[in-house]
Structure 1
Amino acid sequence: MRRGTWGDDVEQLVGLSVNGIIRTSTLLGCGMSSSTISGRCRKGGPWQRILPGVVALHSGPLTQLHRQTAAQMYGGDEAVISGHAALGVHGYAPSATKSDILLLIPQNRHRRNFSFVTVERSWRVPEPVRKGTLRIAPVARSLLDAGRRTSRTDDCRALFAAALQRGDVTVDHLARELAEGSSRGTAVPRKVIQELVDDAHSVAEIEAQKLYSTSGLPPMVHNREVEDSNGTWIARPDGWLDAVALAWEIDSFAHHLSARDHEATMRRRAVMQRHGIIVVTHLPRQIRHEPAIVLADLAAAYRQGLERPRPDVRVR
């Protein structure tokens, strides 16, 4: 576009924008005066000023893409969107409480928080994932940045669980990102990640065995192969109460959240139930924090087992 011809070439002006958003410096470079820009951005005008130095070439409501594009322009060419806003672009459900956009910029850059944009200077601005015209932090970084700005442990746990279920990250990814990132605001995500690390199956089994020893129920054997009357293998449950053919399964939160692992767990459980085995399941967190409920569940299942004929299964 030739300088000073913008008024006759509005379509080309839109072509210089990104998603209908343009920098004031670009408009000035086209020969437009500051007063003209201000006039077109006044109330009732055809444009609107969104952020310092950033204009929308329309006066209607802003979409999330408009806001994200404007935030990125405001932050500069190295800015990366992270946190809840980035997770939304990655396909996660939008946050019900966090509508602002977290913008990561290099430590040597200076931008202030403004309107819906929260700016964080970082020595570790990640290599962005390109999503159309947007530069988005990878899922692990976006999760940790969102977690650092989440005050409720349950909300943070649900956020991390969704990513683990989708297979986008592992517990190791989250732990590494936590260790390498800023320590500011990490109390909640640190607690949740520690839960995940502590949720290792071997640790959970030991705690389960200790708890069961206080139940007053008949002795339980652990990690034994169970087969049918023909010697066909059925399963290897974490705990087995042979008197009533009861299997106790400890579902590790950290290791059973992928779709594949969840499907395998469901299939194994269905096989046991088809053979008449009573299956009781608990999470490691329940064993640790709700021992009375766990013991009550086991006692009820044992009574249920006594009331029905024992199936023809055995341990090897």
Structure 2
Amino acid sequence: MITNGPKVITAKQLEAIGMPRRTISRRCEPGGQWRMLLPGVVLLQNGEATDEHKIHAALLHSGSDSILTGVRALERYGLRNLPHTDEVHVLIPANRSVSNCGFVHIERSRRLPNPRPRSGVPTAPVHRAVVDAARRTPHKDAITAMMAESVQRGFCLPRSLADELDAGRRTGKALLRGALLPILGGARSVAEADAWRLWQRSKLPECRWNVKIFGADGTYIAQPDGWCDELGFAWEIDSLEHHAGDTGFRDTLARNARYAAAGIIVVQTLPSRLRSEPGKVLAELRAALDSARL
């Protein structure tokens, strides 16, 4: 019982299998064989606790029906664009009296989601974990990155994020709504969110985001970041990182050739210019749109 799994166990469980409390205390003393990670929760080794150890310790500390959420939950789904945090965020029933302790952030909830097992850990669904993580994140870009990746990779729908935000706590919603709005509009990255906001305040013709376009014969052309169907105009937010290397460069050239063959005017913009030179970017867009009207 105490040699398998994550090597984390409660002192009560150790006592239940016959280990005296004084022995547990002695082994958890400085320089001892074990470590007391949280009150009453023991790591059965004396080295540094891993993130996995901390997750299991947090759930033991929180009691039955507790659910992992936030950044640590999203890591278990494989999301990558996540803010750094040392805390383990756990949801518990609203009527339970458990306090924050050490690296554990406890959140009482009357809306406990149906947990999904991820490597043996009861984990909140992605849309709930994203919103819970966003509420603990002060930076809009980090929030947008989480939301965008969760949608871009098919873990949840934009509407699910909006519904979860509406159903949750009222405090702090303004920042989250501001981050979510471009995602609802079709943006799928922080750079695309910047582009979406710039277009929205530009009074330019309607633009759709991340839609696949095809030629008259049904041949696939591209999936531009922004697409003005009225004028046959495409806007690509092309980062150096994404398009660097032989493969990225070759793919970009092939895409631009398909645009040219279809008679589509395309503007390519570096993500950094959306913030450093928004006026110049808008001027370039307006000039390109004027050409598309001819």
* Coarse TM-score class (shorter-chain normalised): 0.7 to 0.9
Where in structure 2 are there 5+ consecutive unaligned residues? Answer: 188-195, 206-212, 238-252
**Residue in structure 2 matching 1:74, options 61, 66, 83:** 61
Distance 2:79 2:113 in 1: 20
Q: 1:240 to 1:136 in 2, by over 3 A?
A: closer
Distance 1:115 1:73 in 2: 14
- State TM-score, norm by structure 1: 0.68
Q: Which residue of 2 aligns with 1:97?
A: 84
Q: How many residues end up aligned between the 2 structures? A: 255
Q: Which residue of 1 aligns with 2:34?
A: 47
Tell me if the contact between 1:45 and 1:59 (Cα under 8 Å) persists in the aligned partners. Answer: yes
Q: Which residue of 1 aligns with 2:3?
A: 14
Q: 1:115 to 1:209 in 2, by over 3 A?
A: closer
Tell me if the contact between 2:8 and 2:42 (Cα under 8 Å) persists in the aligned partners. Answer: yes
Where in structure 1 are there 5+ consecutive unaligned residues? Answer: 1-11, 213-224, 242-246, 253-265, 306-313
- Whether 1:278 and 2:268 are equivalent positions in the alignment is no
The CA deviation at 1:186 is: 2.6
Distance 2:214 2:118 in 1: 50
What is the SS of the residue equivalent to 1:14?
coil
In our comparison, the structure showing a higher alpha carbon Rg is 1
- Whether 1:178 and 2:196 are equivalent positions in the alignment is no
Q: 1:207 to 1:30 in 2, by over 3 A?
A: closer
Q: 1:249 to 1:25 in 2, by over 3 A?
A: same
Tell me if the contact between 2:116 and 2:125 (Cα under 8 Å) persists in the aligned partners. Answer: yes
AA matched with 1:248: F
- Whether 1:61 and 2:48 are equivalent positions in the alignment is yes
Distance 1:112 1:41 in 2: 22
**Residue in structure 1 matching 2:204, options 193, 198, 211:** 211
Q: Which residue of 1 aligns with 2:142?
A: 155
- Whether 1:190 and 2:177 are equivalent positions in the alignment is yes
Superposed CA RMSD: 3.9
- State TM-score, norm by structure 2: 0.73
Q: Calculate percent identity across the aligned residue pairs.
A: 34
Q: Which residue of 2 aligns with 1:249?
A: 234
Tell me if the contact between 1:239 and 1:248 (Cα under 8 Å) persists in the aligned partners. Answer: yes
Distance 2:120 2:186 in 1: 39
The CA deviation at 1:29 is: 1.0
Distance 1:239 1:169 in 2: 27
**Residue in structure 2 matching 1:115, options 99, 102, 118:** 102
